[in-house]
A = this chain, B = another copy of it.
Amino acid sequence: MSKLWTDLVRQLKPYIPGEQPQDQQYIKLNTNENPYPPSPAVTRAINSFAIDDLRRYPDPESRELRQALATRTGLGLEQVFVGNGSDEVLAHSFKAFFEGQDKILFPDIGYSFYPVYCSLFQTGYQAIPLDSNFAINIEDYWQPNGGIIIANPNAPTGITLAPAAIRELLDHTDSLVIIDEAYVDFGADSAIALIADFPNLLVIQTFSKSRSLAGLRLGYALGHVDLIEGLNRVKNSFNSYPVDQLGSVAAIASLADEDYYQLCKKRIIRTRDWLSDALTNLGFEVLPSNSNFVFVRHASHPASDLYVELKKAGILVRHFNSLRIENFLRISIGTDDECESLIEVMKRLL
């Protein structure tokens, strides 16, 4: 600790991402990465990019990428904001909309970056408990609030809220509602269709999961033009050019290859179903997942032990040592081979 740190920095408890070991080859099922590579169109786009142009700054407004997203989602260009990963987009959203008087609301079990943003931006919050099945009870959010943020599907549970429930939520509040759809492409319904009816709805998505581009850092927000303008005001007071040139061309190429996207998505859903059944057969409780991971617990084997034993066997999964979920493991959906290896090791461990 340094006397030069501000008081705020002393108090921060930073987010801890899943391990990205640089030393050893693991079967890596811990950070919800896609087991399949990006579209071949991405490879072509990067390989045909004129590297000499990197001497130039990118378009600070990322118009081409935003237009591609607008076209895909049926929204206008001014309804799309892009950033350096959806984490940056989330951070700017907290700064732009969540510094009001009232506490914001989010589930007690959810993306563990939300309380960290609250700490960074000094936003008060109230964590709303999931029900005993780890589902969101939407009526719990019908109370005065300074904003609401929900991951849908929720992380790390994988459980989905139906669009009708989100509509009901929006019918009961004038505050900003952020639906964080990092995992929406693996079988859930997006709230994008509700944007036309609700100027207080911001939907956040990412290229990291379903588009296999975690390594390039691309996320985006969709909503009413006034919300996007608010985000731009923050972004343009922070970093004029958050999206680099290669990231932009890669993302555009990925959006253009719908067939490949559908193929990978279907494969992951199929593997998820297989893995869920196999884990159930081994005595695990598997929460119903619409995401690219499953959240599971075993009646007689502590998750912390299983995590350690799996790591020894060369398989990384994620264990959160947090209240209510300390006995769960979050397992990202890998290839069929990777998931079969996991099941083989589990059989040996149990």
User: Using Cβ atoms and an 8 Å threshold, which residues of chain B touch A5?
Assistant: 96-97, 226, 230, 233
Contact B97 A239, beta carbon cutoff 8 Å: no
Number of copies: 2
Q: Report whether A55 and B84 are in contact in the complex, using a CB–CB cutoff of 8 Å.
A: no
Which of A183-191, A210-218, A308-316, A323-331 touches B?
Answer: A210-218
Give complex CA distance A6, B1 in Å. Answer: 31
Q: How far is the CA of A250 from the CA of B216 in the complex (A)?
A: 13
Q: Are B51 and A43 in contact (CB under 8 A)?
A: yes
User: B91 and A4: CB pair below 8 A?
Assistant: no
Interface of chain A, helix or strand or loop or mixed? loop
Give chain A interface residues in 193-208, CB to chain B under 8 Å.
Answer: 199-200, 208
Closest to A64 in B: B22
Q: Determine which of B53, B95, B200, B240 lies in contact with A15 in the assembled complex, contact meaning CB atoms within 8 Å.
A: B240
B residues near A283, Cβ cutoff 8 Å: none
User: Is A96 a contact of B37 with CB atoms below 8 Å?
Assistant: no
A91 to chain B: closest residue by CB: B238
Determine, out of A112-120, A134-142, A152-160, A293-301, the stretch whose residues face the partner at the interface.
A112-120
Contact of A57 (CB < 8 Å), options: B2, B13, B63, B215 = B215
Which of B54, B213, B229 sits near A2, CB closer than 8 Å? B229
Whether A12 touches B233, Cβ cut-off 8 Å, given contacts A37-B54, A238-B91, is yes
Most interface-central of A31, A96, A119, A176 (chain B CB within 10 A) = A96
Q: Which of A162-170, A241-249, A274-282, A342-350 contacts B (4 or more CB under 8 A)?
A: A241-249
Residue A107 at the chain B interface, CB threshold 8 Å: no
Chain A residues 65 to 114 lying within 8 A of chain B, measured CB to CB, are 84-85, 87-88, 91, 95-100
Least CB distance from A337 to B in Å reads 16
Is there an interface contact between A244 and B241, defined as CB atoms closer than 8 Å?
A: no
The residue of chain B having its C-beta at the shortest distance from the C-beta of A31 within the complex is B57
What B residues does A200 contact at CB under 8 A? Answer: 4
**How many Å lie between the Cα of A95 and that of B95 in the bound state?**
13
User: Closest chain B residue to A200 by CB distance?
Assistant: B4
| 18 A-B contacts (beta carbon < 8 Å) | A7-B99, A9-B97, A9-B234, A13-B237, A14-B232, A15-B237, A15-B240, A20-B59, A34-B55, A38-B54, A47-B47, A47-B51, A56-B214, A58-B217, A87-B241, A91-B238, A95-B120, A120-B234
Identify the 5 closest CB pairs spanning chains A and B, nearest first.
A14-B236, A2-B226, A37-B52, A54-B215, A215-B245
Additional A-B contact list (11), CB under 8 Å, known A2-B226, A46-B49, A215-B244: A5-B97, A8-B95, A9-B233, A14-B232, A20-B56, A37-B51, A37-B54, A57-B208, A95-B120, A216-B246, A244-B247
